[in-house]
Amino acid sequence: MNHPLTVPAFEFTQGDSPLLISMPHSGLNLTAEVDAGLSKQAKILPDTDWYIPELYDFFTSLGVSCIKANYSRYVIDLNRPYDDKPLYESKTTGLFPDILFADSPVFNQGQEPGDAHKLFCKDQIWKPYHATIEQELARLKVKFGYAILFDAHSIAAQVPMLFEGTLPDFNWGTNEGKSCHESLANIATQIIQPHYTQVVNGRFKGGYITRQFGQPENNIHAIQLELSQATYLNEAVLKEGRYELDEQKLPVIKQQLKDIIEAVSLVRF
């Protein structure tokens, strides 16, 4: 069975600094089979890491490499392992999500993608995305003696299925300190302006990408940021199921992110 991709699986831009930014959940494209089966609630792609490419669009000016997914996590979740082993003991979503963060079905009953489609997505989207990360980190390590991976995410401030209460603005994950040298997290957290809140290894400790590629013993360091969408989305229209940038919040959060990426890219190991 053929499942042609209407756009490339991802976009990759090579830079000339030791840093690679990964955006595995920014994609909005769907395959025909996934699109045909989505529930009404899933059609608006509520669990997307909305506007992450726009928030980090300064990366080229800093000479940073970047890989950005083009397909929605409902097609395949690039931040889950190939074998789909759970990353958290608490409730979560898998390689091929069947529930939304709102704890309702992703697909109408009986309209879930079949095994052939899933295998196609693993081979044509998941494998090349991860292979590109691996190759770029290897290239950066050869060039600089070390490499840094920054896995960029965002999430709604409140997701009762995943956590109680409201998330801090910046949620850092280093797999409990196993995915990077502590100096990387220290520099990232120290540059956060005081009007933002943050936590390290709270509800989010880093997904598969951070855990897989972060090998500080081999001088490859990985850190994940889950940014609260309350820092940049228009909350008034969010209640209507619309995802729009807040023009007042946007320049403030973009400057903060640029300061972070610049500082992280200058860390030496």
Per-residue pLDDT of the chain (269 residues), as tens digits, is 456 899 999 999 999 999 999 999 999 999 999 999 999 999 999 999 999 999 999 999 999 999 999 999 999 999 999 997 766 555 567 899 999 988 899 999 999 999 999 999 999 999 999 999 999 999 999 999 999 999 999 999 988 788 889 999 999 999 999 999 999 999 999 999 999 999 999 989 999 999 999 999 999 999 999 999 999 999 999 888 899 999 999 999 999 999 999 999 999 99
To the question of pTM greater than 0.75 for the whole model, the response is yes
* Domains along the chain with CATH numbers: 10-265 (3.40.630.40)
**Angstrom distances, CA of residue 21 to CA of 3, 112, 128, 132, 242:** 28, 32, 16, 12, 27
Q: DSSP label at 107?
A: B
Query: How many C-beta atoms surround the C-beta of residue 89 within 10 A?
Result: 6
Q: Choose among 70, 63, 72: nearest CA to 13.
A: 63
**Contact of 218 with 181, CB cutoff 8 Å:** no
Strand partners, 149: 20, 222
**Contact of 145 with 218, CB cutoff 8 Å:** no
